[in-house]
Amino acid sequence: MTQHDPVRRRFLLGGAALGAGALLAACTSNESGGDNNNAQTQGNNNASPNANSAPGKKVTIGFSAPAADHGWIAAITSNAKAQAAEYSDVTFSTVEAGADAAAQRSALSTMISQKPDVIVLLPHDGKELNAFGLEAMKAGIPVVNLDRAFPDALAYRLQIKGDNYGMGVAAGNYIAAQMKAKGVSAPIIGEIAGIDNLELTQERTAGFNAALAANGMKVANRRAAQFTVDSGQAEMSQLLQALPKMDALWNHDDDQGIGVLAAANQANRKEFLMVGGAGSKAAIEAIQADNSVLKCTVTYSPSMASSAISLARLIAQGKGMSDLVELQVPKEIILASETITKENASTYLPLGFS
């Protein structure tokens, strides 16, 4: 090596570093033409104005949901924010829920001290945060429990959640009907579930199995993914090997469904019918376009967050729901799981989350 080399080497390295840095900086921009965030708010899709949406008493809504590593959860938070923004009489404050239930607990205790008028909470785990719900209710702050349920009725003023069991039932019923319509007697059915540790996954599977059993069918092979795209793809690729011929598949979650679909395409497998879950925009569009195995999805819509905010506001303002005779907001609302197929896809499209 000559004397000059170290100097020249450093110069080259420096230049390369600068160039790379500039290039990389340019690449981080994620702005696109259209609005990325298609929040599902009441204002957006409900044409008729509501008496209740007229401005009233000013209220503060405290909101907490787990950090979004997943489209559905991200949609929850963005929906809540957007819905709150629709109301001029609502002050919206959030706390970071942290990585697990314990972190969320400590974050929430700071929220209590700020004395919001009402708290809207999607807990990491319903059982683990049940005690917090009780505490807040005792302190006089009504709690709206979103999606993952507190077991104790005293822990919440309103529990609004999707119907996980009903999801499974809807999916099962749809598949059963389709199989019968096609005349398949003993269909080979696959299932790709989400994170198995969560109770909601168990409920969904239970509903699915129940609906299938009622029709004399059962699941041939069930794999559990992690609600992420690559885990969905990995599990699906192996499932396709295990079932060289499959008639139907239910994938619990449309986000991981991207990976599931990719695996199916990569393996060139088209002979089966796929049902999704949760109702993402991409899925609804795919169903509408009818260009893949995905024919249906059962909703578990993050729009429940928007509803939760609206109802929380009503609770704080002491009003009831306009369509009900009763003067108070109900105790529990379980949103029905709706089956979206090509036929009704266009209706649901605006509700699809990204």
Strand partners for 222: 191
In 3-state terms, what secondary structure has residue 118?
strand
Find the binder of other proteins among 144, 179, 240, 274 (CB under 8 A). Answer: 240
Strand 294-299 relative to strand 339-341: parallel, antiparallel, unpaired? antiparallel
The CB density around residue 83, as the number of other CB atoms within 10 Å, is 27
Task: Pick between residue 173 and residue 288 the one whose CB is nearest to other proteins.
Answer: 288
Find the binder of other proteins among 2, 4, 5, 29 (CB under 8 A). Answer: 29
Min. distance of Cβ 147 from other proteins in angstroms? 18
Min. distance of Cβ 71 from other proteins in angstroms? 6
Q: Do 177 and 341 form a contact (C-beta atoms < 8 A)?
A: no
User: Alpha-carbon distance 77 to 202, whole Å?
Assistant: 24
In sign, the C-alpha dihedral spanning 40, 46, 52, 54 is positive
Find the binder of other proteins among 96, 100, 196, 199 (CB under 8 A). Answer: 196
Strand partners for 49: none
Min. distance of Cβ 268 from other proteins in angstroms? 8
Min. distance of Cβ 103 from other proteins in angstroms? 15
Find the binder of other proteins among 4, 26, 151, 323 (CB under 8 A). Answer: 26
Vertex 297 angle, CA 283 and 124, to 5°: 90
Min. distance of Cβ 156 from other proteins in angstroms? 27
In a 13 Å sphere around the CA of 182, the CA atoms on its Cβ side amount to 14
Find the binder of other proteins among 52, 237, 328, 341 (CB under 8 A). Answer: 237
- Residue 242 binds other proteins (CB under 8 A): yes
Strand partners for 297: 276, 340
Write out the two tokens for 125.
Answer: 């785990």
- Residue 100 binds other proteins (CB under 8 A): no
User: Alpha-carbon distance 299 to 281, whole Å?
Assistant: 11
- Residue 291 binds other proteins (CB under 8 A): no
Please report, as residue ranges, which positions from 60 to 79 form the binding site for other proteins (by CB under 8 A): 67-71, 74
Min. distance of Cβ 240 from other proteins in angstroms? 7
Candidates 116-124, 138-146, 198-206, 217-225; binding stretch for other proteins (CB under 8 A): 217-225
Amino acid letter at 98?
A: G
In 3-state terms, what secondary structure has residue 144?
strand
Please report, as residue ranges, which positions from 335 to 354 form the binding site for other proteins (by CB under 8 A): 354
Binding positions for other proteins, rule: CB under 8 A: 20, 23-24, 26-32, 36, 67-71, 74, 196, 220-224, 226, 228-235, 237-242, 244, 255, 258-259, 262, 265-267, 282, 354
